[in-house]
Amino acid sequence: MEYRRLGKTELKVSVIGFGGIPVQRIDAASAEKVVNRAIELGINFFDTARGYTDSEEKLGAVLKKHRDKVIIATKSMARDKKGMAEEIDKSLMTMGMDYIDLYQLHNVKDKGTLEQVLGADGALAALKEAKEKGKIRHIGVTGHIKAILLEILKTGEIETVQFPFNPVEIDGAQDVFELAQKMDAGVIVMKPMAGGALTNANLTLRYILEHPVSVAIPGMDSLEQVEENATVGNEPRALTDQEREELARSVEKLGTSFCRRCEYCLPCQQGIDIPSVFLFDGYYTRYDLKDWAKGRYQAMEVKADSCLECGECEERCPYNLPIREMLKEAAERLGK
């Protein structure tokens, strides 16, 4: 496994890290196997969040047994000082640890949030206090909106920045890479597979690792995924011309109006699992898995045609997707 420096934290992280969203879908025993396999294969960076239901708990249960070998990152949406201080304590308790390597401000997405977290009574103040007390070792930020990430990086208070970057989400990334380098912040790439829209992990991860990133964190919930991803980290070779062309073809096929599965649109007041509808629709339209996609869609408890068109989800989508229209189209294809 190749290891890179995580900016001024001076931590040495495996270029392939473990994204902790999908472990929510598997039971604790399976999570233990998957996490242990990741450690065996040299993965030492694990990212989770307060908001990922039992992900902290499942990861913590395994990782605390390997505490000196692993680097644990978590994050909270708390915006004020008191709320963030409580969240840090909850993370420590849930994971059964006495310190966390990296604690991140989760999804700082607009000016208002930025001002709030940086304010005198904001979440950053709690992170700094926790760092002084030794509860956390480093402070980072995550988000999708590059302009906001640049703003917070400029303060110099942030040691790492985490954002989505992959062959279909390159807009503005170069600016973040450059400023992160200047400020000596570590770069953590979330959603390397564009939320499941890209399927060739080998080519996609190698493409990402050609850039100045410290670690890419694909979500993993099976031994096969861990092994496939770790293989890339063992030898992240530059893409050949032929591989680059192959990747470019899959990017072209995808276009720009696609769901990245960030889940910020949820909850839907009707209970529609919006990203899953779009995932199945993507398999139907892009990967020619029509029967499989229809079968999975038909098994959903609440289908896309339950949408009341309230529009709340569209206000929350950071990619400004026309969700209502897209749901109608998906229902047409998958619902019959």
Closest CA relative to residue 221, chosen from 34, 17, 60: 34
For residue 119, the minimal CB distance to ligand SF4 (Å) is: 27
Cα separation, 5 vs 159, whole angstroms: 12
Binding mask 309-328 for ligand SF4 (x = CB under 6 A): xxxxx---x-x-x-xx--x-
> 3-class SS at 16?
strand
**Residue (45 or 278) nearer to ligand SF4, CB:** 278
**Residue (90 or 328) nearer to ligand SF4, CB:** 328
**Residue (264 or 287) nearer to ligand SF4, CB:** 264
Choice from 231, 270, 276, 285 touching ligand SF4 (CB under 6 A): 270
Cα separation, 35 vs 13, whole angstroms: 16
For residue 215, the minimal CB distance to ligand SF4 (Å) is: 22
**Residue (56 or 273) nearer to ligand SF4, CB:** 273
Cα separation, 325 vs 175, whole angstroms: 32
Residue 60 binds to ligand SF4 (criterion: CB under 6 A): no
- The site for ligand SF4, by CB under 6 A, has a size of 27
71-76: strand order across its sheet = 18-19, 45-47, 71-76, 100-105, 136-142, 160-164, 186-190, 215-216
Q: Are 129 and 84 in contact (CB under 8 A)?
A: no
Residue 89 binds to ligand SF4 (criterion: CB under 6 A): no
Amino acid sitting at position 219? G
**Residue (243 or 263) nearer to ligand SF4, CB:** 263
Cα separation, 282 vs 293, whole angstroms: 8
Binding mask 215-254 for ligand SF4 (x = CB under 6 A): ----------------------------------------
For residue 262, the minimal CB distance to ligand SF4 (Å) is: 4
